[in-house]
A and B are shown apart, each in its own frame.
Chain A
Amino acid sequence: MLEKTLVAVLPFIVVLTIGAVFVGRYLARVFQGQHTFLTPIVGGVERGLLRIFGVRQDEEQTWKQYAVSLLLFNALGLCFLFILQLLQQWLPGNPQHLGAVRLDTAFNAAVSFMTNTNWQSYSGETTMSYLTQMLGMTVQNFLSAATGISVAIALVRGFVRRSTNSIGCFWVDLTRALVYVLLPMALVLSLVLVSQGTVQTLRPTVALTTLEGQAQRIAVGPAASQVAIKHVGTNGGGFFNANAAHPFESPNPFTDLLLVFSLLLIPAALPFTFGEMLGDRKQGTALFLAMLIMFSIGLGISLHYELAGNPALAQAGVAGGVNMEGKEQRFGPIMSTLFAQSTTVTSTGAVDSMHDSFTPIPGLIMVFNMTVGEVIFGGVGVGLVGMLLYVVLTLFIVGLMIGRTPEYLGKKLEPREMLMAVVGLLGPPIAMLLMAGLAFSIPSAVASAANTGSHGMTEIIYACASAAGNNGSAFAGLNANTPFYNVGLALLMLVGRFATILPGLAIAGSVAAKKRVQSGVTFSTTSTLFVFMLIFVVTIVGGLTYFSPLVLGPLLEFLKLR
């Protein structure tokens, strides 16, 4: 089994790494305004869009201007999507004549897609019209991902630059992320998906009669285009409720693997972009390695328990071997576990299997992946930002322990950076714990969980972790389409998103203004020791925060099963 697993997973990791290196360098060229192979094709589009915005290509903003532009842009997107859902019954592109979306659901969905979470408390095919899906959801899929990339690039610039107030221009970064990165990648991916059988049509639901003579309605729609961007942009909101487990989204093992690859690609590439823009590739490689090691350890543990199967079933003599519950026959346990691990580390939230049905320890790993703040690759852009916040924290401690006032890349880490790192790293967990605590204190909220005891606990903390981490995947089993969860989780998503983005931009602004100091004895942030320190800090912060719910939820369930 071990060899089989390695044969399946190792080549994937190798291909991912190679892909990430190339995409990383490409991104660096794009955001430094250098010529790329796509410039002749999309350069005109970029210039045209910037002219519409009234922005010059070499425009610069301070971090505050950058943040205000970003907030304004996202607020507009939020309002548009919210209103679109309320008005969809009077708008075209609604062949199924779906009514207006419920107010709390619409708010939740609007926040969810604007924050790149794509938590869906509704069932897509029976709630959202084609127009809402395409003009609302899909557009936000692009824009939220582009927003994330822009923030990461701005933060990288902060570390690259010295003694300046500006960190780039949001409108330029946003435009470049769209026309050079997200649109081309989504286009290529959706064409490949369509070639494999993913549906892409504007026809309404297909009605037919089955062999047994039953009437059946089969939902179809413009799926391939939304599936492509939901992975490339680590969004995760499926066209169909079953998400990537649905054969119309991911017809075969090849598309399944392709979807995993495409959701990991940009988050894995950004550390390399960081190294490239710094002119010190090793710095990026170190961050990538820290992410990859954490990814692989989690994957290894999950695979071990999934392949070992459910001990309770084995004891009962019902079934032995691997845990197939909630998994597609097409994909099997190894690919489903790889998908689950990838989708939870990257804040994507797309699923090809039911996470609720995994054995308890993989369930624990998935919650852990989200609760450390989505930094193991993480969401496009924000993953790197979150990881850099951890780097600030790590190097603060490291600096002290080697007797130096802390610094990273020659930038002194002072109270301002620390404040921002603490807000960014501890804000979302605090909000998440408060929301979960509130949910467990309200009987009706507890009743939304399908299960009681440990499993029910995991269902609720998973939902909260998913919202705070802007992941969007659901553990299933929890009916979150209630006003309490819709509003509470929406607020949690906003905290999770902007408590990372704004501190990230603030740090970008403050480190950009600093000079770069070189000093005699300094700790190498490309060393193995640094990589392990970083992993240790991420683990201990996540572990200490969620110790009790993880013990009472998945761990207790695991112990009971033995």
Chain B
Amino acid sequence: MRKKGMLDPSVVSKAVGGAFQKLDPRTLWRNPVMFVVEFGSIITTVFAVMSAFQHTGFWFNLQISLWLWFTVLFANFAEALAEGRGKAQADSLKKTRNEAVANRLRSDGTTETVAAIDLVKGDIVVVSDNETIPSDGEIVEGVALVDESAITGESAPVIRESGGDRTGVTGGTRVLSGTIHLRITANMGDTFLDQMIAMVESSSRRKTPNEVALGILLIGLTALFIVVTITLRAFAGYMSVTVAVPVLVALLVCLMPTTIGGLLPAIGIAGMDRLIEHNVIALSGRAVEASGDVSVVLLDKTGTITLGNRMATEFLPAESVTEHQLMESSVLASLADDTPEGRSIVTLAKQKLGIRGRDIRAPEGSTFVPFTAETRMSGIDYGDRHIRKGAVDAIEQWVEENGGQFPDTVHALVDGVARQGETPLVVSDGALVMGVIRLKDILKQDIKERLGQLHVFGIKSVMITGDNPLTAAAIAAEAGIDDFVAQARPETKLDLIRRYQANGSMVAMIGDGTNDAPALAQADVGVAMNAGTQSAREAANLVDLDSNPTKLLDIVEIGKQILITRGSLTTFSIANDVAKYFAIIPAIFAAKYPQLAMLNVMHLHSPASAILSAVIFNAVIIPSLIPLAMRGVQYHPSSANALLWRNLTIYGAGGLALPFVGIRLIDVLLVAIRVVR
């Protein structure tokens, strides 16, 4: 998804409007802290109006009221801004899709044209060149080149075809060429796109358990501070001090956790926005947050850790065969072999021989012998030469059938290669064993660094492969994997996840195939590749649009950032209260009890300026922290203690100190511009 700047003018202006719309108490009650602030604003406004007629304290009451209204508006703005960023993209996509028409296949084989929004689950539609895919579906027939740039931002089109693990398509994307039959897999309102929009829309977003828990704390604190301020009037009355209601409301709003209360929805939505920027769609906010707790991640070897194909790295000639001869027969055997392994043999040979260009061709009159599951070897027949390459036992059988003998020295070579976890490929020319080609699994670029980061996050990586244990161990060692399961069968993954979970681990799993679906559903965090099958996508709680398996690291990081931002701003919000007490309590009581003037450590000018400064600080801190809420608190993988120290210092100690400075500065400013006496 294309990244939208935080201050995109259209988004900002929409958010300003949204801030006012959200003043509606019927929607604001979803945020109890702000609901109480709004109620307080109404009370102070009533008092301001009343004081206008009584000619006492009107100016002060008016300012208090205005700043309390601003407090609510700023919080609403933060939420609207976060919503706007994620929604802007999704909305246009939704529009394209909703306007789309579909060719629905009738049971008699003819098609009818229906609006995309009328499609229901189970319908079969036909999509051809340059048509928009009307809804989420699974290709049941055909192959097509699909432009997914609308959701992924990736301009290169991708192939989607029936059968196998690349069958899923998303509504709103476009077929560039090819015709496909699509089975619709989601009703309107329930599609991928709808889910994506729901995650960034405050009103339809389901709060995560963690947000609910924090919400309970904030409501508890709000209730406590309401009682604290109401009873203050009784305490003060006993001490012969009368406290005006607007002052009490001001104290209440200052003490309430308005900073975190105002920014809490924005933090969650902005987290989803950031995931979308990373081309990950979260179908469950809970899973994103849980990803920070993951202690084990299961990775498929092929496609995740390695490039999915082996590459030739060395020619090991048999006795009495030169390397040049081995290379020659290897190249001949591979010229017509279009597999990545075959091509890598030719490439290696060209490199060794210093040949450039594509000047090697298969000789005239030669016939290519393709690889079959029965023979388990491939090669070329030309003239009377029968060159073969294949697994050691297949070639051994072939050589012996041709009256030759498989030399022990080659066995030794084969064993040597295998012992290092690599794959030996034996080449023979007729009955003569030429030697061994060393095939090696090539790790994906940067994979070692990325896995190293997992370590720093405290996550154990487990590789799953169908390879033999020796090969698996070698790759695991090279990539820095903690553990591996070799000779795995499809059901191995599910068993493995259950076993880890029984030991109390939180397991993440990345998969794409249909047989991954149960494991994805079982895992605490299941990431499906967008290119994967529909069943995999449904079982997962996160979908990676780029189909990049190391995306888990980004997800973990964003999940952690959401939590850290929430925790840090809560700490900050509560730590702020200390300074506000020190501003407001002496302002209320110092006139009657001069001894309490010593609590006025900020040397605020007057009671009115002190209270107003505290209220203004409390209001403006919300918009000042919007960028932080949107971006998330910086996360550097480090030990829990180091992380806590860092965040406690910045947001705890900082939250304690900053308002002392801020309130003082606002006080100086208010006096300078003569807003208060």
Contacts and interface: CB of A to CB of B under 8 A. Distances in A.
A2 interface: no
A527 B644 CA distance: 12
Given A521-B639, A533-B648, 14 more contacts: A398-B644, A399-B563, A401-B648, A401-B651, A402-B564, A404-B293, A436-B234, A440-B231, A440-B238, A519-B506, A523-B641, A544-B228, A548-B236, A552-B235
Interface stretch (A71-79, A135-143, A427-435): A427-435
A434 B229 CA distance: 11
Contact of B568 (A401, A454, A516, A560): A401
A531 interface: no
Interface in A115-153: none
A422 B581 contact: no
A529 interface: yes
Interface in A393-417: 393, 396-407, 410, 413-415, 417
Contacts of B645: 529
A548 B641 CA distance: 35
A410 B644 contact: no
Contact of B595 (A415, A434, A533, A560): A560
Ranked nearest first, the 7 interchain pairs of A and B with the lowest CB-CB distance are: A520-B458, A400-B567, A403-B560, A437-B231, A521-B458, A422-B220, A559-B595
Given A430-B224, A515-B504, A405 B571 contact: no
Interface string B206-249: 00011011101101110110011011111111110000000000
B643 interface: yes
A194 to B, nearest CB: 46
Contact of A396 (B213, B221, B294, B589): B213
B635 interface: yes
A441 B237 contact: yes
Interface SS, B side: helix
B589 A552 contact: yes
Contacts of B570: 397, 400
A425 B224 CA distance: 10
A515 B502 CA distance: 8
A487 to B, nearest CB: 18
B235 A426 contact: no
Interface string B499-517: 0000111100000000000
Interface of A: 393, 396-407, 410, 413-415, 417-419, 422-423, 425-426, 429-430, 433-434, 436-438, 440-441, 446, 453-454, 456-457, 515-524, 527, 529, 533, 540, 543-545, 547-549, 551-552, 556, 559-560, 562
Contacts of A418: 213-214, 216-217
A559 B600 CA distance: 14
B559 interface: yes
Contacts of B628: none
B617 interface: no
A401 B644 contact: yes
B542 to A, nearest CB: 16
A457 B581 CA distance: 19
A548 B599 contact: no
A251 B506 CA distance: 61
B502 to A, nearest CB: 8
- Name, among A430, A515, A533, the residue most crowded by chain B CB atoms within 10 Å (CB to CB): A430
Interface SS, A side: helix
Interface string B241-264: 000000000000001000000000
B574 interface: yes
B460 interface: yes
B596 A529 contact: no
A405 B563 CA distance: 7
Contact of A415 (B216, B230, B238, B504): B216
Contacts of A415: 209, 212-213, 216
A168 B284 CA distance: 37
Nearest to B225: A544
A456 B574 CA distance: 31
Given A419-B216, A433-B227, A548-B232, A516 B644 contact: no
Contact of B292 (A396, A404, A425): A404
Interface in B630-650: 635, 639-641, 643-645, 647-648
A413 B228 CA distance: 28
Interface string B182-215: 0000000000000000000000000001101110
- Name, among B227, B230, B236, the residue most crowded by chain A CB atoms within 10 Å (CB to CB): B227
Contacts of B651: 401
Contact of A527 (B212, B504, B560, B641): B641
B310 interface: no
Contact of A547 (B213, B568, B585): B585
A457 to B, nearest CB: 6
Given A403-B559, A529-B644, A559-B595, A438 B239 contact: no
B457 interface: yes
26 contacts: A397-B567, A400-B210, A400-B568, A401-B568, A401-B571, A402-B567, A404-B292, A404-B640, A405-B290, A405-B293, A406-B210, A414-B213, A415-B213, A417-B213, A419-B216, A430-B227, A517-B504, A520-B294, A521-B457, A521-B640, A533-B648, A540-B575, A545-B224, A547-B581, A548-B236, A562-B595
A401 B567 contact: yes
A123 B186 CA distance: 76
Contact of A426 (B220, B293, B294, B503): B220
Given A430-B223, A437-B230, A560-B595, A405 B289 contact: yes
B217 A422 contact: yes
Contacts of A453: 239
Contacts of B457: 520-521
B42 interface: no
Nearest to A562: B595
Contacts of B585: 547-548, 551
A561 B62 CA distance: 39
Contacts of A396: 213-214, 217
B561 interface: yes
Contacts of A393: 217
B660 to A, nearest CB: 16
- Name, among A519, A524, A549, the residue most crowded by chain B CB atoms within 10 Å (CB to CB): A519
Given A415-B216, A440-B237, A426 B567 contact: no
Contacts of B235: 436-437, 440, 457, 548-549, 552
- Name, among B220, B238, B564, the residue most crowded by chain A CB atoms within 10 Å (CB to CB): B238
Contacts of A422: 216-217, 219-220
